[in-house]
Amino acid sequence: MVSMVIIHEQTRDYIYPVTRSKLAIRLKTRKKAADSCHLLYWNRFKKDTTGELVAKMRCYARDEFFDYYEIIIDTIESTKYIKYYFQLSKTGQSIYFNYHGATILNPTDGFFEYLYTNEKDIFEAPLWSKGTVFYQIFPERFCNGDLTNDPKNTVPWGSTPTRDNYLGGDLQGIINKLDYLENLGVEALYLTPIFKASSNHKYDTVDYFQIDPSFGTSDDLKKLVQICHRKGMKIILDGVFNHCGYFFPPFQDLLKNGVDSKYKDWFLCEGLPLDPENVNYETTGYYKWMPKLRLSNPQVRAFILKIASFWMTEANIDGWRLDVADEVDYTFWQDFRKVVKSINPQCFILAETWRENREMLRGDQMDSVMNYLFRDALVDFFAKKRITPSQFDERINRILGVYPTTTHLSLYNLIGSHDTARFLTLSKEEHRILKTTSAFQLCFPGIAGIYYGDEIGLTGENDPDCRKCMDWVPPKEKLEISNWYKKLIALRKRMKPLRLGSFASNYCSTDNYVYGFYREFEEDRVYVVINNSDLVTEITYPVLESPTDYYFLTDLLSGESHLVENSGNNLYHNSDLHSYQGALRLKLQPYQVKIIYGN
| Paired sense of beta strands 412-414 and 368-371, if any | parallel
323 is catalytic: yes
CB contact at 8 A, 367 and 336: no
Amino acid occupying residue 270: E
CB contact at 8 A, 553 and 584: yes
Q: Which of 170, 352, 367, 545 is the catalytic position? A: 352
CB contact at 8 A, 68 and 61: yes
| Paired sense of beta strands 66-74 and 58-62, if any | antiparallel
d(CA 70, CA 408): 14
- For residue 583, what is the enclosing H or E element? strand 582-588
Q: Which of 146, 204, 323, 455 is the catalytic position? A: 323
What angle separates helix 330-343 from helix 298-314, to the nearest 10 degrees?
A: 30
Dihedral sign for Cα 455, 460, 463, 464, please.
negative
DSSP-assigned letter for residue 159: P
- For residue 599, what is the enclosing H or E element? none
- The DSSP result for 354-417, as a single string, is SS--GGG-SSSS-SEEEEHHHHHHHIIIIIS--S-HHHHHHHHHHHHHHS-GGGGGG-EEES--
Tell me the sheet residues that pair with 584. 541
* Burial bucket for residue 53 (CB in 10 Å: 0-12, 13-18, 19+): middle
Residue burial 119-147, b: 16+ Cβ < 10 Å; e: rest: eeebbebbeebbbbbbbbbbbbbbbbbbe
d(CA 148, CA 283): 35
Strand order of the β-sheet with 537-543 is 537-543, 582-588, 565-566
* Closest of 27, 25, 24, 42 to residue 81, by C-alpha: 42
Q: Which residues are catalytic?
A: 323, 352
